[in-house]
Amino acid sequence: MAGEEDIFSLALIFGKSSGHEMVKEIYLPVLYHSKSPSFYDEIKIRLPAVLDENHHLFFTFTHISCQPKENAPVETPIGYTWLPLLNNNHLIHGDFNLPVAYERPPHNYSLVPPTNHDVNNVKWADNHKPLFSLSIRPSSTIHSLVCLFFIRKIFFFN
């Protein structure tokens, strides 16, 4: 994302081999009735040449209904988290454990990492406990440090 609204979503994610070349979002697998699923998916992103403090990754967790009711959505958002791509004007890298918010974050959320307790008006799942883990391994000739994002573990909550 290059901003907080959906219009700032960037088509910079390399799609699956059977899909479009570059996409704005990508879905990861789900497991039926697993409260603590663990995945290892690799997501490749072509970063813009110029990054600023508005660039961030945005994650949405959804409940998928296996037996949808009439006029009810199959997918229901149940959580959100994000990760700013820059820290002190340097591209982030390493392992991250992020808390998950129940509701879409408030205005200017992307300027503060979700691990910071100063994010106001956010209702956190499991008392701000880190429930989502990922690893970022940048490989770039433009930025000081294309990025590879490894989704390691996702812990769902009640």
Count the alpha carbons within 13 Å of 113 in the hemisphere toward its beta carbon: 13
pTM, 2 dp? 0.82
Backbone angles phi, psi at 41, to 5 degrees: -115, 145
Task: Give the span between the Cα atoms of 115 and 125, in whole angstroms.
Answer: 12
Average pLDDT over residues 8-14: 90
pLDDT at 146 over 70: no
pLDDT at 26 over 90: no
CA distance 61 to 76: 9
C-alpha distances in angstroms, 77 versus 20, 59, 63, 73, 109? 24, 11, 6, 10, 18
Examine the pLDDT at 28 and tell me if it is beyond 70.
yes
